[in-house]
Chains A and B, each alone.
Chain A
Amino acid sequence: MSELHPQNQLPPLLEASEITVRFGGLTAVDGVDAVFRAGELVGIIGPNGAGKTTFFNAISGVLRPTSGKLLVDGHDLIGRNPHRYAAHGIARTFQTPRVFADMAVRDNVEFGLKFAGRRPRPWVFWGPETRVPWALRTPESILELIGLAQLGNLPAAAITPSQQRLLEIGMALATRPRLLLLDEVAAGLTEAELENMAQLIRRIRDELDLSVIWIEHAVTTLLRHVERVIVLHQGRKSPTPARPRWCATQT
């Protein structure tokens, strides 16, 4: 995309500059700059220990970066608690599914709707919530979207790990986010499941008008679906060609 592309003139959703995270003497993320705009589907790749997840933790508020600037929707949120990030429309999933195991699948989804996803209603306590996409209106519609509609009443501990990964996405969507951070949601899936997951992620992006950042180890599938990719290596951002050949969806 060139500088004159219309998408580049939108204000950035999340602007990270010089993000550095150090654990004692180890520098996990070393001065990474990244700008994410509305409607983007960005992939982050890199070998194990490259600092991908640490970078995610830093930009979703779970971990306080050692130094750097982070603007979420124009607000400086460095050092604030994760719920502030959620309130500004940043939702994330975790690498190992962290669902509320003792609650039903449907209640897991409803949790997000009741906290970060809560929107004002016309008559304070009654009426439909305003400015919410149809697909994210109720827990049932979210379960429908992620394809777990049949399992709503089961406890979350009873469903398979790959379904738990889907549920994680559903829980993140329930906060009605504008930026969705997916941390290896397709790890351990079969080839067919992987393709379904990729299709689901693209559908979410296209239909719900949000941007997605996707970390994945299955590089070939990832590269087939994302528009832009950030390569991390030993905590640093590696330079990528401006218009790589492998970007199938590049316009």
Chain B
Amino acid sequence: MGALVLHLRGTYFAILTFGMTELIRHTVTFYESTVTGTVGRMILVAPDSKTVYYTVLLLAVAAVATSIVVRRTRFGLAMRGIGSDEQRAQTLGVDTRLVKIGGFALTAAFAGAVGAAMAVRWTYIDPTTVFNPFIGFQTVLIALIGGAMTLWGPLLAAILFSILAETLRLQAPELYMMSLGLLLILFVLYLPGGLASVRWFMLHAAWSALREGWRVRRYRWSGQQARDEARARQRARERRHV
């Protein structure tokens, strides 16, 4: 699949991968309904949630460890170069096709492993839940919120995002998708580098800007501003008449 879609770049690549997912979903559904006559699978022996939890935790640790290791290797350097300027990396001797397929396979392996581990949690799986485009969208959202180039950004974002998403889904299900969309828009507009690009001075600046803005508003809303302006007008009038 990687070899099939990787000759495309940027947006086209993203769209084609989403399209491929849909294609596979429909193919599987078609196959199941015509050949086997059933849609989905029942899982009769579901392991308890503790086992699932530890498996997924182990996979998460393995993913972070792999990411730390890959960053220090030639493979990681090659991917960084491709991310920065693909053609330049190519003219400096990187076999970009090979590296991209490798990166694709590595990430897909982790995604697949987690999917397989999580699938046993639901006792019934069918193509519609498995190929739900929102899951793919969610990972992209987490990467964007965290900062795509860094390691700790997406990690932090994943934790925050999951807590937020679960809380919203329980407390305000009608606002759930809307607020996620809003979050994405806000991050893309105001923090394109993601959470990882936040520095202390930015927090300080944001805090003092907030206080300043609040001070101005309090001045206006308390009526003090109007009184001061009236007094200034009064003084100007008196000065003219004297």
Q: Which residues of A pack against B, CB within 8 Å?
A: 60-62, 81-83, 85-87, 91-92, 94, 98-103, 111-112, 114-118, 171, 174-175
Interface residue B234 (Cβ < 8 Å from any Cβ of A): no
Given contacts A98-B85, A100-B85, A114-B74, contact A82 B90 (CB under 8 A): yes
Q: Which one of B88, B95, B97 contacts A94 once the chains associate, using CB atoms below 8 Å? A: B88
Which residues of B lie under 8 Å from residue A100 when comparing CB positions? 80-81, 84-85, 88
Asked if residues A115 and B84 are in contact (CB atoms below 8 Å), the reply is no
Considering the complex, give the chain B residue whose CB is closest to the CB of A118: B93
CB-based contact B93/A115 at 8 Å: yes
Nearest-Cβ distance from residue B100 to partner chain A, whole angstroms = 12
Is the pair A98, B97 in contact by a Cβ cutoff of 8 Å? no
Report which of B74, B92, B149 forms a contact with A86, defined as CB distance below 8 A: B92
* Cβ contact within 8 Å between B93 and A117: yes
Do A112 and B87 form a contact, CB below 8 Å, given A100-B81, A103-B80?
no
Query: Which residues from chain A contact B91 at a C-beta distance below 8 Å?
Result: 60-62, 82-83, 85-86, 91-92
Closest to A90 in B: B91
User: Chain B contacts of A103 at CB under 8 A?
Assistant: 80, 84
Cβ contacts under 8 Å, A111 to chain B: 77, 81, 89, 92
Give CA–CA (A171, B90) in the complex, Å: 12
Closest-by-CB residue of A relative to B84 is: A100
**Interchain CB contact (< 8 A) of A81 among B78, B88, B92, B97:** B97
- The residue that B93 contacts in the complex, of A86, A94, A98, A99, with Cβ under 8 A, is A86
Chain B residues in contact with chain A, CB under 8 A?
74, 77-78, 80-81, 84-85, 87-97, 149
A57 to chain B, nearest CB (A): 10
Closest A residue to B85 by CB, please name it: A98
Residues of B within 8 A of A117 (CB): 93
5 new A-B contacts, CB < 8 A, other than A87-B93, A98-B87, are: A62-B87, A91-B92, A98-B85, A103-B84, A175-B92
Given the known A-B contacts A81-B96, A115-B78, are A102 and B84 also in contact in the complex, defined by CB atoms under 8 Å?
Answer: yes
Q: Say how far A54's CB is from chain B's closest CB, in angstroms.
A: 15
* Residues of A with C-beta under 8 A to B92: 86, 91, 111-112, 115-116, 171, 174-175
Closest B residue to A84 by CB, please name it.
B95
**Shortest Cβ distance from residue B150 to the other chain A in the assembled complex, whole angstroms:** 11
Known: A174-B92, A175-B93. A82 touches B81 (CB 8 A): no
Instruction: Output the nearest chain A residue to B91 by Cβ-Cβ distance.
Output: A82
Alpha-carbon distance A100/B94, docked complex (angstroms): 14
Q: How many angstroms between the C-alpha atoms of A82 and B95 in the bound complex?
A: 8
- Docked complex Cα distance between A108 and B59 (Å): 34
**Shortest Cβ-Cβ A-B pairs, 9 listed:** A116-B93, A115-B93, A86-B93, A82-B90, A100-B84, A112-B92, A98-B88, A82-B91, A83-B93
Can you name 26 A-B pairs with beta carbons within 8 Å?
Answer: A62-B90, A82-B87, A82-B91, A83-B90, A83-B96, A86-B90, A86-B91, A94-B88, A99-B88, A100-B80, A100-B81, A100-B84, A100-B85, A100-B88, A102-B84, A111-B81, A111-B89, A112-B92, A112-B93, A114-B74, A115-B78, A115-B93, A116-B92, A116-B93, A117-B93, A174-B92
Separation of A117 and B84 alpha carbons in the complex (Å): 19
Q: How many angstroms between the C-alpha atoms of A101 and B97 in the bound complex?
A: 22
Closest beta carbon of chain A to B75's beta carbon, Å = 11
Residues of A close to B97: CB separation below 8 A: 81
Report the Cα distance A102→B83, complex, angstroms. Answer: 10
Residues of chain A within 8 A of B94, CB atoms compared: 83, 115
Alpha-carbon gap, A116 to B89, bound state (A): 10
Q: Kindly provide the distance from the CB of A201 to the nearest chain B CB, expressed in whole angstroms.
A: 19
In this complex, what residue of A is CB-closest to B92? A112
A40 to B148, CA, bound (A): 45
Given A114-B74, A114-B77, A81:B90 Cβ within 8 A: yes
- Whether A81 contacts B87 by the Cβ 8 Å rule is no
Cα of A166 to Cα of B84 in the assembled complex, Å: 19
Please measure, in the bound complex, the distance between the C-alpha atom of A175 and the C-alpha atom of B93, giving whole angstroms: 8
Quick one: closest B residue to A94, CB to CB?
B88
* List of B residues within 8 angstroms of A115 by Cβ: 74, 78, 89, 92-94
The minimal Cβ–Cβ distance linking A72 to chain B, given in whole angstroms, is: 14
List the A residue with the shortest CB-CB distance to B93: A116
CB distance from A89 to the nearest CB of B (A): 10
Contacts of B95 in A (CB 8 A): 81, 83
Residues of B contacting A99 with CB < 8 Å? 88
Question: Whole-angstrom distance from the CB of A235 to the nearest CB of chain B?
Answer: 23
Residues on B with beta carbons closer than 8 Å to the beta carbon of A171: 88, 92
